[in-house]
Amino acid sequence: MKKTKAIVLADNALTTPGRLVRYINSLKLPVDVKETCFGCYIEGDWDLVDELAQKIRDFERNRIFCRDRGYPIWDKRRCRAFRGGGPREGFHQLEAEQSVLSYLGLALDDIDKNGLKDLNEILEKERKLIKEEKYLPVDKFKMIVEKYVQERK
């Protein structure tokens, strides 16, 4: 059985999707690679894909992120080439996640440099922030969406 993994580059990564794919192809491993706007997909035997993903992450440890993908490369249910274009389901979520990776990388750099601060202190700050969080009422959200849609017409 094969495994597919998404390799996602943070905005502040020095590596580009094209350079990443050329590197993977130069290894001549039995994996399939597909370049994407955010990095690439790699697909192959489970252990090999995990090992390769770790090797890739080691280049820019806090700038290259990996996650498993539920569908194979070129899957007709997900691939834009077979669906007639447009973003695939989940693309906008991935795009939003990618936009914060550079900040996560900087935080990981700080941990690498200074060590992890007291975890209990961090968790307590998180609990306070969650308690202070205000929810947006549905009717106000609806009004914002309708205004946005009207501005786009």
What is the residue extent of each domain of the chain? Answer: 2-111
What was the pLDDT predicted at 129? 87
Say if residues 27 and 44 touch (Cβ distance below 8 Å): no
Q: How far apart are the C-alpha atoms of 149 and 77, rounded to whole Å?
A: 29
Each residue's pLDDT tens digit, 76-123: 777 777 777 777 677 778 888 888 999 999 989 988 898 877 788 888
Q: How far apart are the C-alpha atoms of 108 and 19, rounded to whole Å?
A: 24
Q: Say if residue 147's pLDDT is above 80.
A: yes
Say if residues 97 and 84 touch (Cβ distance below 8 Å): no
CATH fold of 2-111 reads Alpha-Beta Plaits (3.30.70)
What three-state secondary structure class fits 7?
strand
Q: How far apart are the C-alpha atoms of 64 and 55, rounded to whole Å?
A: 11
Handedness of CA 42, 44, 45, 46 (dihedral sign): positive
Each residue's pLDDT tens digit, 34-43: 999 899 999 9
